Structure 1
């Protein structure tokens, strides 16, 4: 796709743009004042890389990461082409300083917000903020369907962070007496990683906090069978002790 982005300058119908929002969780989307923007694939990949890494990158690194199956000269030319396709939007979306480039700070990125929320949840800050209890984002995969090699490590890092965040959210909700919400968070953690014992333990504890002993025991049995069939392992003594006193 050789054309530039199908939007106009830094204004929309003569009105200055108020908001730029980039989505990389659950899929790629770029919105300007809540309206979707049509973005060429090369531009999508460049913006996604800068959003995911969330720090200044050298042009050489960006080019070689996005076009690793070609020569450095060809990769650099491809990057120049992607920047050209931004047209008058380049200064709105990309910051540059010599050989360094980054995503413009005014762009709201869903990944940045979710990472900050997950880190708060697993950190020492007491209590929960209003937006901390939302599961949105914590359940979403990074750019599903994309097969870029550089994404593999980034996906795994995000997976570990968001499951830790869901575990902690579930525990914090139990401690706050919010059992139903805790169960939802625990179910999301288990769905993200069914073999992860900390996720199973958080969900079982949420069921017990609500007084649903049968649900807690049923979840334990599901996990015990899954763990044995998948890995030939048994639940830890800590998990066994958690459900032992509640066995029907």
Structure 2
């Protein structure tokens, strides 16, 4: 529970920064937003000196520390002190703050567990809603780039993993939704394309399967000057052979 009376505080980093309370959207400055984002992306309290150096890398340590103190004071004023927990040496988010990025990270952990995909069909819209967005898409800070790249890889791998699991369950509408979301995030990745083609073939959408492969082949050649692996052509060839065998029986 939030002791300041602001109610639940929710931080969104997917795809852009928003700070909401039960009452309103907090109007935070760019540097205040970056301070909060840096705390969200850390899984432990951050030392004041490290945080100051990250946010003001070109400033001398004393000046960066002074700017950090000023930013913290203004942030506490803007949020009635309900967002952070600070000591003399470290800063972290308050326990009652909810963050979409951390919710998504927990979903990735669940979906990638030893038991396979634990996301049921009725939870698919929620899974898709938190995994389809990039991290702070309009920010290009140097310190943020590794987090953005890691998040992109994690969400694409998870979407592909879930698509594979739903393919095994023959839930083909979910397969295409997940595979297409992974493809949108990483158009050159072959795994989601292969899964989508296989799903189309399973439900008899042969023309769509060929169209998807043709578009991927053209994109890959245009961007990298290479051809796809033989995995998708093999699926198409095997399906063609099955169709010919069925025709021969009649």
Classify the TM-score, shorter chain: 0.7 to 0.9
1:128 aligns with 2:119: yes
Distance (Å, rounded) in 1 between the aligned partners of 2:23 and 2:103: 17
Quote how far apart the aligned CAs of 1:17 are. 3.0
1:63 aligned residue: 52
Unaligned stretches of 5+ residues in structure 1: 1-8
CA RMSD of aligned residues (A): 2.1
The TM-score, its normalising length taken from structure 2, stands at 0.86
* Separation of aligned partners in 2, 1:82 and 1:125: 45
Post-superposition offset of 1:133: 4.6
Gaps of 5+ in 2: 244-250
Cα offset, 1:192, TM superposition = 0.8
The equivalent of 2:62 in structure 1 is 73
Q: Is the 8 A contact 1:20 1:31 kept in 2?
A: yes
- 2:247 maps to which residue? none
The structure with the greater share of residues assigned to helix is: 2
Displacement after TM superposition at 1:132 (Å): 4.6
Structure 2 counterparts to residues 1-248 of structure 1, below 5 A: 11=4, 16-33=5-22, 35-87=24-76, 89=79, 91-126=81-116, 127-129=118-120, 130-134=122-126, 135-247=128-240
Q: Is contact 1:174–1:182 with CA below 8 Å preserved after alignment?
A: yes
DSSP-derived class of the 1:36 partner: coil
Task: Provide the C-alpha distance between the structure 2 equivalents of 1:194 and 1:98, rounded to a whole number of angstroms.
Answer: 46
Deviation at 1:34, TM superposition (A): 5.7
Is the contact made by 1:30 and 1:37 (CA closer than 8 Å) also made in structure 2?
A: yes
C-alpha distance in structure 2 between counterparts of 1:34 and 1:207, whole Å: 46
Number of residue equivalences: 236
